[in-house]
Chains A and B, each alone.
Chain A
Amino acid sequence: AQKVTQAQTEISVVEKEDVTLDCVYETRDTTYYLFWYKQPPSGELVFLIRRNSFDEQNEISGRYSWNFQKSTSSFNFTITASQVVDSAVYFCACWAGSYQLTFGKGTKLSVIP
Chain B
Amino acid sequence: DGGITQSPKYLFRKEGQNVTLSCEQNLNHDAMYWYRQDPGQGLRLIYYSQIVNDFQKGDIAEGYSVSREKKESFPLTVTSAQKNPTAFYLCASSRKAGDSADTQYFGPGTRLTVL
Contacts and interface: CB of A to CB of B under 8 A. Distances in A.
Nearest to A46: B106
A91 B103 contact: no
B106 A104 contact: no
B107 interface: yes
A82 to B, nearest CB: 22
Given A42-B108, A99-B56, A99-B97, A105 B103 contact: no
A103 B44 CA distance: 8
A55 interface: no
B17 interface: no
Given A47-B105, A47-B106, A100-B58, 8 more contacts: A33-B101, A43-B109, A45-B92, A52-B101, A103-B44, A105-B40, A105-B42, A106-B41
Interface residues of B, number: 27
B16 to A, nearest CB: 27
A32 B42 CA distance: 19
B58 to A, nearest CB: 6
B48 interface: yes
Contact of B101 (A42, A91, A95, A103): A95
Contacts of B33: 100
Interface of A: 4, 9, 32-33, 35, 37, 42-47, 50, 52, 91, 95, 97, 99-101, 103-106
Contacts of A105: 40-42
Interface string B25-65: 00000000100000011111100101000001011000000
B2 interface: no
B13 interface: no
